[in-house]
Chains A and B, each alone.
Chain A
């Protein structure tokens, strides 16, 4: 069902300047990194045009990660939670390592070997991208160092152990807010220093060119599959596609194949945290302003002086003050709509999916489910909504157990 060599398709960018999406994107990086970014771009274009590379990647996605992932008709969830709209789940949670992140890292690890580098570095927030990178590095025999905010290493201790079991070294980052944004800064510093041997396996569709394009093309398989599956199942295109948006890789992955289908609504749900009005959130597009962070122009959470504002979300994977530049462009052009979903609504959807479908979603993906409930109410019974279930919730059990009061009182200290 997977289209052959989908990375060879290079859809037109909405801008003629390479690496730009309208006014967004670009390369706001130290000159020292330009040679490496140019090399990555060049090698990626050569790889994308090389049928052998596409075949090797498709083979890995199929035999190692388990693609294509199924599309699940969530009938009980739809009836109970979505006002009768028909919710279809794109099951990226069933990938090896438990999320869509593996699609990207398998491609980038192959690219690393092709370039002839022996070491990969990556940033991680919740740990999903770090685990995926460590996995691909183990598979391909690459040295692997993962940068993770000290705060996140505490929140996601189990994922730190997973990465170490896979042979990666996890470096806790204790600067700034000690979360994902600081992990990216530290990974960039490592890359500037070790660029000769090292490839930076960036986890999302943000960062300097070519990452937003490269990561999007590697995640595009989600939407390519889903578009075919939904037509096989329902005989038509869906009314809407919904995904959660942190940096935005799972969202762009499922959106991209539908962009030309203008009758299909594209909805990105950002982390509303405690509520956008409280200022404690990660709703970058819905309440940020354009600027430059981590190498690209895009929406970001910043104060009047251009200093980055810390984001807040119950979901470590969405807890990021920036967003991929193509999403900023899709927003401004009106092609996609971005709205916040707060912690409480996400956790309610988390519980509902668990109880109605027997699927425990990642809290990130629960934001998309909560958003789909609102969409269902708006679009009405009979509407078809494809939700990208980007990851599974095993990693979130501790957070969920605390949220729902499922732990014994002694264990609840500090909540």
Chain B
């Protein structure tokens, strides 16, 4: 499914879309596929498959640990694409979340080609800003892949406009200044950022960083078009006694969050 279709479907139901992240290869490649598939069945609309990278400077300790484990287990770009293919076959919209160097090394054009073949709908690039994305934008456009860039509370209105101009699929709004990880409160900055972003684009705006519960999802869903949850899913897998119970725990969180995005009153 295309990302825009997934957001449109949620919008038609009068709710925000639920976006769920897991790094590929955690706890194993097949284990990650099972968890993501279960999350989709439990209500995740859009999937972000993380590409494990040795230097994840936007990520907090939970995702760092999972990514380290995935790398030690041998997960590399081909396994990430295999994960995309398996999860996309469930019918969900699937994007890759990757730092730039692994894509650069794989070859931006080859990556775009293989991502498209795997049924992926695009890529979120947390350390690539449109200013330096000349190697990515043309090849992604040629394959009709979504290019999702981030906006942050520190972004000027000018930069938000520049960034959303190059976004396709949706805009990723970072709720707080900081790295990934669950937080007790999603910053007040998020609503203001969404308002400023909305002034520049008709694309859906999804808010990420810090969301971990159904109540937080409901709160974010009241002002955003999508709610992004990552570390909280990883945490469920990490705390589980075995892979099967990890899958169940991730699915139950997905259900709670899916309920949350339906409770919001926009």
Query: Which positions in A face B, CB cutoff 8 Å?
Result: 26-36, 175-176, 181-182, 184-185, 188-189, 192-196, 291-295, 302, 304-308
Establish whether residues A291 and B101, one from each chain, have CB atoms under 8 Å apart when the complex forms.
yes
Establish whether residues B156 and A27, one from each chain, have CB atoms under 8 Å apart when the complex forms.
no
Establish whether residues A28 and B53, one from each chain, have CB atoms under 8 Å apart when the complex forms.
no
Count of CB-CB pairs between chains A and B under 8 Å? 113
Establish whether residues B131 and A27, one from each chain, have CB atoms under 8 Å apart when the complex forms.
yes
Residues on B with C-beta less than 8 A from A33 are 154
Interface of A is mostly: mixed
- The docked-state distance in angstroms from the alpha carbon of A348 to that of B266 is 72
Residues on A with C-beta less than 8 A from B131 are 27
Most chain-B Cβ atoms within 10 A of its Cβ — which of A36, A196, A305?
A305
Known contacts A26-B132, A28-B127, A185-B56; A304/B105 CB under 8 A: yes
Pull 22 A–B residue pairs with CB atoms less than 8 Å apart, ordered by A.
Answer: A28-B128, A28-B129, A28-B132, A29-B129, A30-B58, A30-B127, A32-B152, A32-B177, A32-B178, A176-B54, A182-B55, A189-B57, A189-B178, A189-B179, A193-B179, A194-B177, A304-B105, A306-B102, A306-B103, A307-B54, A307-B102, A308-B54
Query: Which positions in B face A, CB cutoff 8 Å?
Result: 53-58, 60-61, 64, 68, 71, 76-77, 100-106, 126-129, 131-132, 149-156, 159, 163, 174, 177-179
Establish whether residues A293 and B177, one from each chain, have CB atoms under 8 Å apart when the complex forms.
no
Whole-angstrom distance between the Cβ of B141 and the nearest chain A Cβ: 20
Residues on A with C-beta less than 8 A from B178 are 32, 189, 192-193
Besides A32-B174, A291-B105, A307-B54, 10 more A-B contacts (Cβ < 8 Å) are A29-B127, A31-B174, A32-B150, A34-B159, A189-B60, A192-B179, A292-B101, A292-B104, A302-B105, A304-B105
Residues on A with C-beta less than 8 A from B126 are 30
- The docked-state distance in angstroms from the alpha carbon of A293 to that of B175 is 25
Establish whether residues B55 and A293, one from each chain, have CB atoms under 8 Å apart when the complex forms.
yes
Known contacts A29-B127, A192-B178; A35/B159 CB under 8 A: yes
Residues on B with C-beta less than 8 A from A302 are 101, 105
Known contacts A26-B132, A192-B58, A304-B105; A31/B163 CB under 8 A: yes
Whole-angstrom distance between the Cβ of B197 and the nearest chain A Cβ: 12
Most chain-A Cβ atoms within 10 A of its Cβ — which of B126, B129, B151, B155?
B129
Known contacts A175-B64, A302-B101, A305-B76; A31/B155 CB under 8 A: yes
